[in-house]
Structure 1
Amino acid sequence: MTRASPLPDTTATRQALIEACLWMNDRHLNQGKSGNISARLDGGILITPSGVRYEDLTPDAMVTIPLSGLPPCAGPKPSSEWPFHQGMHQARPDMPVVLHAHPPYCSVLAVQRRSIPACHYMIAAFGGHDVPLADYALFGSPALCANMAQIMADRHGCLMANHGATVLGETIDKACWRLEELETLARTYLYSSIGGEAHILTDAEIAEVMVAFQSYGPRNTDNTRE
């Protein structure tokens, strides 16, 4: 697993995380202040604070926590989901951005405790033949952290039982793109059951797509956008 370069702890990075939160709500991929986002820094993690409206966030309000161990007692509280963000950054050094939200269609599947099979070739954008479902555990708990680390070892996104969804990103923009793509896949999968049943692509067909993604798009740019 290749270790990605950390993001710089600058005002621009902090503002970009805030803009991602505002974008989630504007795109109806999240509601209120329930989602959270983090970025791996050189020696730490930058994460949204607990219980603050996105519209009220400022760069100075973002919280820095260590890559392991407890957050500092002084200063703003980090998101209540900081344990699994910390776990994701430890388990996936190739993905410096972690984005969590409660997208409506993803949440429907999550409360039904259903993963998303290979109903569409864009499933391959999540690292495998499906988008898996992490077992339920209390938000912010060590159990949820362990569940997420296990299920996301070889995936770039997952659903969370009776909760929502989480995606990983090589950049902030890529994480946002992946979250919207995941919600589109969840909607497609749910709607496909209305008039019949989705035909599921084989593992070999998904593997073919993953290889094709490596050379898709203009040179030296994001190669998974259509």
Structure 2
Amino acid sequence: MNTMMLDVARVNGVPLHDPDETLDPTTLRQRACTELLRQAAVSAGFDDPQAADAIERLLDRELNVPEPSEDTCRRHFEAHRARYGVGERLALRHVLFAVTPGVDVQALRQRAEALLFELRCADPDGDAFGAAARQWSNCPTGADGGDLGWVTRDECAAEFAREVFGKDTVGVLPRLVHSRFGLHVVEVRARDAGVAPAFDAVRAAVALTLRQQAWVNALRQYLQLLAGSAALDGVTLDAADTPLVQ
């Protein structure tokens, strides 16, 4: 068999990239998931010239997402009141390990995780975090010790905000925070919770959150079913792969 053929990841024989193209593992898995969905859409008769439109029509038909009940919404709200606070602000520092084309993502993650452990064990009376940011961070704030100042949810990338807002942790967060920019070691220096609204004021937002969570779970299950009956070469998929939710 041609060696070049072995270097190309495929889904049911369809190549996911050119032979001379190198993809990081996350991008490769996302392409594989999207290709699985595209093929399923074609098989279901949704052969739309725009693949994204065909996939959306397929998912509208296949994913069963129930409407959350009033009791479910209330329980979620009571358990996550801080998430719906108005005017919440955080004083943050971070060290950014940027994911750029060609970077070895696994090696980058190992370096970031090693620094995370080091900073969580550092002397709290010192400034190990600031020194690490000045040495390692790929963000311009590294020159200032990684200081982002006081920020609101709207001032952050959505995927970053989901990991740091609406919680009560102060100090270096126990896990890396993933965003479109890369991997972040984050320190929450202070929290200003803002104003907690009444349930009725955020009922629609709570229901939307629960519907989105249910949709993501349904998509993961559907992708698992598709992957289980597909021929996958050069790529491994797992339950956490959700290519349409970034």
Shared fold, TM over 0.5: no
TM bracket, shorter-chain basis: under 0.3
Question: TM-score, normalized by length of structure 2?
Answer: 0.22
Structure showing greater Rg: 2
Higher relative contact order, structure no. (Cα contacts within 8 Å, ≥ 6 residues apart): 2
Question: TM-score, normalized by length of structure 1?
Answer: 0.23
